[in-house]
Amino acid sequence: MLPILFGMPEGPEIRRAADRIERAVRGEVADQVTFAFPHLQPFEARLRGRVVEAVETRGKAILVRFEGDLSVYAHSQLYGRWYVVRRGKFPQTNRSLRFAIHNQEKSALLYSASEIDVLTPAEVERHPFLSKLGPDVLSSGLDASALYARLSDPRFARRALHALLLDQAFVAGLGNYLRSEVLFDAGLHPSVRLGELSDDDLRMLARSILRVTRQAYRTGGVTNSASRVKALKAQGLRRAEYRHHVFTRGGRPCWSCGEAILRQVLGGRKIFHCPECQPLVR
């Protein structure tokens, strides 16, 4: 019985967690709903007996939408853990259960999260976190042309790429490992400002954001190429060693050119890039 989320999840991990929760509870009547926080407990009776209509993601947050007009908002941050279990089976953990949905067969359990709320549609739209998010990077409605238009917006022109790609108001769902991997895929140095990029660079960056993030969603967080992963697995390398092109690979040779990967701290966060494949001066 393993947690769905661990570590600091990014958009692909959140969406995969939401998929698993949705398979367990969507379309099912919630026989019982419980909250640990006293101010939310009055909602238990209002949600009990209602059908779970959807489990949505907004960047790194999850919204469980119930029949009627209420949704449960949850942001796991670093410590929250979701479990999906057979009803009556609880994980062995010292964590505190904060939110639970039970139907006849399954339970979706959220432990340790501190950001949980119950919202109407209007409250979702003006929520202090949700209302400031950019488009969700895994939304089916976000394509390369829409993302290119956003990258071309003058509001973002002075932003360095290493900072812009972590800004959830720009695009929601990108995090630290995706930032390094996207910039490697696009061949762009982390310190370049968005306004310094050519039109071709902007289009490449738009494609890379979508390609790398959606690959990470499909593969459970693996951003290296499928052919390279297959070859490295055959050599006996562990997942942590073959998972990424550059992230956490400081000092090791680039899989593409052999140059040593650089590790920097920019804006207080670690970032990795290849000086040969991602030159500052192009």
Is 1 part of a structural domain of the chain? no
Tell me the pLDDT tens digit for each residue of 36-46. Answer: 999 999 999 99
Residue 5, pLDDT above cutoff 90: no
Q: Are 254 and 277 in contact (CB under 8 A)?
A: yes
Q: Are 225 and 215 in contact (CB under 8 A)?
A: no
Tell me the pLDDT tens digit for each residue of 79-103. Answer: 889 999 999 999 989 999 999 999 9
Instruction: Write down the pLDDT at residue 80.
Output: 87
- What is the overall mean pLDDT for the chain? 93
Instruction: Write down the pLDDT at residue 64.
Output: 98
Mean pLDDT of 11-26: 95
pTM of this structure = 0.91
Residues 194 and 158 grouped into a single domain: yes
Instruction: Write down the pLDDT at residue 78.
Output: 75
Is 54 part of a structural domain of the chain? yes
Instruction: Write down the pLDDT at residue 2.
Output: 46
How far out from the chain centre does Cα 61 lie? 8
Residues 110 and 168 grouped into a single domain: no
Residues 150 and 268 grouped into a single domain: yes
How far out from the chain centre does Cα 76 lie? 11
Instruction: Write down the pLDDT at residue 282.
Output: 64
User: Distance (Å, rounded) from C-alpha 77 to C-alpha 88?
Assistant: 27
Query: What CATH number is associated with residue 65?
Result: 3.20.190.10
User: Distance (Å, rounded) from C-alpha 36 to C-alpha 95?
Assistant: 12
Residues 123 and 187 grouped into a single domain: no
Structure tokens of 195? 């306004």
Residue 76, pLDDT above cutoff 50: yes
Residue 257, pLDDT above cutoff 60: yes
Of 132, 162, 191, which residue sits at a domain end? 132
Residues contacting residue 7 through CB under 8 Å, at least 6 positions apart: 78
State the burial class of residue 199 (Cβ atoms within 10 Å of its Cβ: 0-12, 13-18, 19+): exposed
Tell me the pLDDT tens digit for each residue of 207-227. Answer: 999 999 999 999 999 999 999
Percent pLDDT > 90 in the chain is 89
Residue 12, pLDDT above cutoff 60: yes
3 state DSSP class of 122 = helix
Is 278 part of a structural domain of the chain? no
Residues 126 and 148 grouped into a single domain: no
Instruction: Write down the pLDDT at residue 179.
Output: 97
Instruction: Write down the pLDDT at residue 20.
Output: 95
Least confident segment among 68-77, 95-104, 158-167: 68-77
Of 105, 132, 159, which residue sits at a domain end? 132
Residues 170 and 127 grouped into a single domain: no
Is 265 part of a structural domain of the chain? yes
- For 259, the domain range is 144-273
Q: Are 166 and 179 in contact (CB under 8 A)?
A: yes
Percent pLDDT > 70 in the chain is 97
Task: Tell me the C-alpha to C-alpha distance, in Å, between residue 85 and each of 19, 107, 178, 220.
Answer: 14, 5, 30, 20
Is 4 part of a structural domain of the chain? no
State the catalytic residues: 9-10, 60, 269
Query: What CATH number is associated with residue 238?
Result: 1.10.8.50
Residues 186 and 123 grouped into a single domain: no
> In 3D, which of 98, 115, 85, 122 has the Cα closest to residue 33?
98
> In 3D, which of 68, 62, 158, 182 has the Cα closest to residue 113?
62
Residues 117 and 159 grouped into a single domain: no
User: Distance (Å, rounded) from C-alpha 93 to C-alpha 152?
Assistant: 47
pLDDT band at 4 (very low <50, low <70, confident <90, very high): low
Residues 150 and 204 grouped into a single domain: yes
Is 80 part of a structural domain of the chain? yes
Of 132, 153, 172, which residue sits at a domain end? 132
Residues 175 and 121 grouped into a single domain: no
Tell me the pLDDT tens digit for each residue of 181-200. Answer: 999 999 999 999 999 999 99
Residue 111, pLDDT above cutoff 70: yes
Residues 196 and 100 grouped into a single domain: no
Is 122 part of a structural domain of the chain? yes
Residues 122 and 148 grouped into a single domain: no
Q: Are 68 and 140 in contact (CB under 8 A)?
A: no
Total domains, the chain: 2
Is 3 part of a structural domain of the chain? no
The residue type found at 32 is Q
